[in-house]
Amino acid sequence: MERLDKVLANLGVGSRKEVKAMVKKGLVMVDGTAARDSGMQVDPEKAVLEVDGKVLSYRKYIYLMMNKPDGVVSATFDNYDETVIDLLDEEHRVFEPFPVGRLDKDTVGLLIITNDGEMNHRLISPKWHVDKVYYAEIDKPVTEEDVSEFREGVLLDDGYKCMSAKLEILSADEDGSRVHVTIQEGKFHQVKRMFKSVGKEVVYLKRLSFGPLSLDEELPEGEYRELREEEIELLKSV
């Protein structure tokens, strides 16, 4: 059971204050009866909700794909920096969503945002072996020796040995390299620390895919959209 005003706010009807005003005007019906209290408890999955004669379809979860921009932190709140949640419209913020895993402040690309805790757990837990693919630009030539070390498991600066990772060299010369990296973990600054362990520095990093979901190439940095039904099913099948 949930408060009526919260349910209606989650449906994008308006703020809780606006919902309260609608209830006072008699515009809100619950199971065919005019609601008298915006704080009344309702079962959103069973109750028939109407606002100004329009029957509403309730949804519990939202699933968003964002092309995260540089300079924004992957968090729900931050005292100093703009967060990915700050980039959302109010109609999505009311669901109190959170980013699935994290991208560093200066890393761009695919970020999944949802309020589905069970999906979040499955996608970020290493035991489910969900691939995360990154495009990276490196300051030095990446070698086959690096490829082998990534495959065997890089030892990070804190002594942690990473799971096997796939390193694919797209191009490499004295000016630097362009690579694809596939990992199944999400340690703090992991990709950057992996390259640091082999004496190289990541100068640009972009996440291209998360499990079966790839970044929408038509989505500009800083923009987001709701996942399509088939995309949600793909993530639920992980």
How large is the average pLDDT for residues 70-81?
Answer: 95
Q: Identify the active-site residue in 70, 78, 104, 106.
A: 104
Give span(s): CATH 3.30.70.580, the chain: 63-126+212-236
Q: How far apart are CA 118 and CA 35, in angstroms?
A: 33
Reduce the DSSP state of residue 21 to 3 states and report it. Answer: helix
pLDDT tens, 88-132? 998 888 889 999 999 999 999 999 999 999 999 989 887 788 999
Phi, psi (degrees; rounded to nearest 5) at 111? -135, 125
Class (C level, CATH) for 131-210: alpha beta
Torsion of CA 224, 228, 230, 233, to 10 degrees: 70
Report whether CATH 3.90.1300.10 matches the domain 63-126+212-236. no
Question: CA nearest 63: which of 238, 183, 201?
Answer: 238
Annotation says 175 is catalytic = no
CATH code for the domain defined by 2-55: 3.10.290.10
Give span(s): CATH 3.10.290.10, the chain: 2-55
pLDDT at 44: 86
Residue 158 banded pLDDT, cuts 50, 70, 90: very high
pLDDT tens, 184-234? 998 889 999 999 999 999 999 999 999 999 999 999 999 999 999 999 999
Give span(s): CATH 3.30.70.1560, the chain: 131-210
How large is the average pLDDT for residues 126-141?
Answer: 93
